[in-house]
């Protein structure tokens, strides 16, 4: 194998590879990136593949000159370091001699010991839509998927624990695509659209890590992403329209049941406040300055007697207290005092681009509901106030 690569394109690719391949592995082959150079007439292509136990990623770059097709298996970290260090070069040459991989710049020659390419696990197949093994398939616009992920991923549990669902629920009914995430204390639901055959129904949990990677792989907001769901895998194909996709991301699905999220979203809230999203965000953020580990919550006082108002207050023992008045555009319902973890509120308000948000409540020990437009619903559980 011998290829001449555009260094910048190669660096983008090896950066992603190095982020997937585990730095240390009991089998050193698994810390490697698999390189495969092919030639189709004059058009050469280099395919790079890396995997950890859960996720695998295959990238194809066309910015190469393939002198001699072939394969190689080389430590991903090392290759990434070399490509990153050769920053004066426009192109790099990769040539394989047996198990040795040579990377050459104008004034440098690196010879790295690799492994027989056959020792790398087979890459996930990106099957044609009509292949019966392809599973259920839909297509989503990159920009839309990015928004959906951005509006939900933050609400997943950070720590892996029995109780947390370390993934995002993907649900598709016809063209209606929903992502749902929760850490047991709040739940974020984002709605969007997908292209699929009318009878397609999907519900699966995608690991947070894969969801994050998928969002990171988005390059062009207008490109289409084809998503295939099999019994135990999800496969994203990026820029799938142009025949062979430029990137294929495969991940195992999270097993287990997602909480019945539809039941969790309250429908009988009897208090409703409408805010300018930025004003509310700023008010909560400022009140949060005087919270601490001991007193995490902010107290929210909604009143409707002398004009609508919200007072957000906080009190951190041995530190101090804060009181912020936030303008309320409209308020319906009785006065209420309810406590929330401000981080949970800010998390949601950060991902809202609509100018207005609505908070609906019922009682101090019942969930609060934040809505922005029709496509974002956020349930947040209160904290007890002292």
Partner 1 sequence: MSSGTEAPSRRQSHQSGGSAPSLRIKSLAALLVNQIAAGEVVERPASIVKELLDNALDAGAMRIVIEIEAGGVDLLRVTDDGVGIAPEDLALALAPHATSKIFESADLDHIGTFGFRGEALASIASVSRLSIRSRPRDEESAYTIEAAGEVLSEQRPESGPIGTCVTVRDLFFNTPARRKFLRTSQTEQGHCLETARTLAMAHSHVGFTVRIDGRERLNLPAGQSPKQRVVAILGEELAPRLIEVHADEFDDARGLALWGLAGLPELARPTLKGQHVFVNGRPIRDRTIQHAIQEAYRGLIEPSRKPTAVLMLEMAPAAVDVNVHPAKAEVRFRDSGLVHSVVHRALREALLRADLTPKWPGQDRGGFREFGSDRSPGPAGQLGSGSGGSVSAAAFADSFKQAVGGPDARIDYDALRSAMGQHVPEPSQEVGPIPVARPADRVLQVHKSYLVTQDEQGVVIVDQHALHERVMFEQIMQRLQSGVFESQRLLTPAVVSAPAQRVERLADLTPLFEKLGVEAAPLGPDTIAVHAFPTFLFDKGVDPSEFLSDLLEQAETDGFPSSSEEALHEIVDMMACKAAVKAGDRLTEQELAELVSMRSRYERASNCPHGRPTSIRLSIRDLERQFGRT
If binding is defined by CB under 8 A, does position 162 make contact with partner 1?
Answer: yes
CB closer to partner 1 out of 177 and 298: 298
If binding is defined by CB under 8 A, does position 312 make contact with partner 1?
Answer: no
Query: Residue 239 — left, alpha, or beta (φ > 0 → left; ψ -120 to 50 → alpha)?
Result: left
CB closer to partner 1 out of 98 and 163: 163
If binding is defined by CB under 8 A, does position 184 make contact with partner 1?
Answer: yes
Report the nearest approach of partner 1 to the CB of residue 260 (Å).
8
Among 26, 293, 306, 374, binds partner 1 (CB under 8 A): 293
Report the nearest approach of partner 1 to the CB of residue 339 (Å).
8
If binding is defined by CB under 8 A, does position 161 make contact with partner 1?
Answer: yes
If binding is defined by CB under 8 A, does position 84 make contact with partner 1?
Answer: no
If binding is defined by CB under 8 A, does position 346 make contact with partner 1?
Answer: no
- Which of the residues 354 through 383 are near partner 1 (CB under 8 A)? 365, 367, 379, 381-383
**How many of the chain's residues bind partner 1 (CB under 8 A)?**
32
Q: Which of 367, 24, 348, 288 is nearest to 154 (CA)?
A: 348
CB closer to partner 1 out of 91 and 171: 171
If binding is defined by CB under 8 A, does position 316 make contact with partner 1?
Answer: no
Among 141, 224, 251, 341, binds partner 1 (CB under 8 A): 341
CB closer to partner 1 out of 161 and 330: 161
CB closer to partner 1 out of 44 and 297: 297
If binding is defined by CB under 8 A, does position 297 make contact with partner 1?
Answer: yes
If binding is defined by CB under 8 A, does position 173 make contact with partner 1?
Answer: no
Among 221, 317, 320, 355, binds partner 1 (CB under 8 A): 317
If binding is defined by CB under 8 A, does position 182 make contact with partner 1?
Answer: yes
If binding is defined by CB under 8 A, does position 294 make contact with partner 1?
Answer: yes
Report the nearest approach of partner 1 to the CB of residue 376 (Å).
17
- What is the 3-class SS of the chain, one letter each residue? CEEEEEHHHHHHHHHHHHHHCCCCCCCHHHHEEEEEEEEECCEEEEEEEEECCCEEEEEEECCEEEEECEEEEEEHHHHHHHHHHCCCCCEEEEEEECCEEEEECCCCEEEEECECHHHCCCCCCCCCCCCHHHCEEEEEEHHHHHHHHHHHHHHCCCCCCCCCCCEEEEEEECCEEEEEEECCCEEEEEEEECECCCCCEEEEEEEHHHHHHHHHCCCCCCCEEEEEECCCEEEEEECCCCCCCCEEEEEECECCCCCCHHHHCCCCCCEEEEEEHHHHHHHHHHHHHHCCCCCCCEEEEEECCCCCEEEEEEEECCCEEEEEEEECCEEECCCEEEEECHHHHHHHHHCCCCCEEEEEECCCCCCEEEEECCCEEEEECCECCC
If binding is defined by CB under 8 A, does position 386 make contact with partner 1?
Answer: yes
Report the interface residues with partner 1, using CB under 8 A: 158-159, 161-164, 182, 184-187, 259-260, 263-264, 293-297, 317, 339, 341, 365, 367, 379, 381-386
């Amino acid at each position: 194998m011998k290829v001449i690569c555009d260094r910048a394109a190669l660096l983008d690719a090896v950066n992603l590879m190095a982020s997937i391949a585990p730095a240390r592995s009991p089998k050193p082959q698994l810390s490697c990136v698999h390189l495969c150079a092919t030639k189709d007439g004059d058009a050469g292509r280099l395919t790079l593949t890396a995997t950890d136990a859960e996720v695998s990623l295959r990238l194809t770059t066309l910015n190469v000159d393939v002198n001699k097709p072939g394969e190689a298996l080389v430590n991903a970290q090392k290759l990434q370091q070399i490509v990153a260090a050769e920053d004066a070069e426009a192109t790099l040459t990769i040539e394989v001699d047996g198990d040795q991989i040579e990377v050459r710049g104008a004034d440098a020659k690196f010879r790295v010991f690799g492994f027989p390419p056959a020792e790398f696990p087979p890459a996930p197949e990106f099957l044609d839509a009509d292949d019966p093994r392809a599973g259920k398939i839909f297509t989503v616009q990159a920009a839309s998927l990015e928004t959906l992920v951005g509006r939900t991923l933050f609400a997943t549990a950070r720590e892996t624990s029995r109780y947390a669902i370390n993934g995002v629920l993907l649900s598709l009914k016809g063209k209606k695509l929903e992502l749902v995430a929760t850490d047991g204390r709040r739940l974020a639901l984002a709605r969007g659209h997908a292209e699929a055959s009318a009878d397609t129904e999907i519900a699966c949990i995608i690991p947070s890590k894969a969801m994050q990677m998928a969002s990171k792989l988005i390059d062009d907001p207008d490109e289409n992403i084809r998503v295939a769901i099999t019994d135990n895998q999800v496969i994203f194909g990026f820029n799938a329209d142009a025949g062979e996709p430029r990137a294929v991301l495969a991940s195992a699905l999270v097993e287990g049941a997602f909480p019945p999220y539809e039941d969790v979203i309250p429908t009988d809230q009897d208090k409703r406040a409408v805010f300018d999203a930025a004003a509310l965000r700023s008010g909560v953020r400022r009140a949060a300055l005087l919270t601490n580990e001991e007193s995490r919550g902010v107290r929210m006082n909604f009143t409707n007697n002398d004009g609508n108002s919200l007072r957000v207050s906080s009190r951190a023992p041995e530190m101090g207290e804060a009181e912020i008045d936030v303008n309320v555009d409209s308020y319906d319902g009785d006065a209420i005092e309810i406590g929330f973890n401000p981080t949970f509120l800010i998390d949601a308000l950060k991902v809202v681009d609509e100018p207005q948000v609505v908070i609906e409540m019922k009682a101090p020990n019942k969930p609060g509901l934040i809505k922005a437009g029709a496509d974002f619903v956020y349930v947040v559980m209160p904290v007890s106030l002292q």
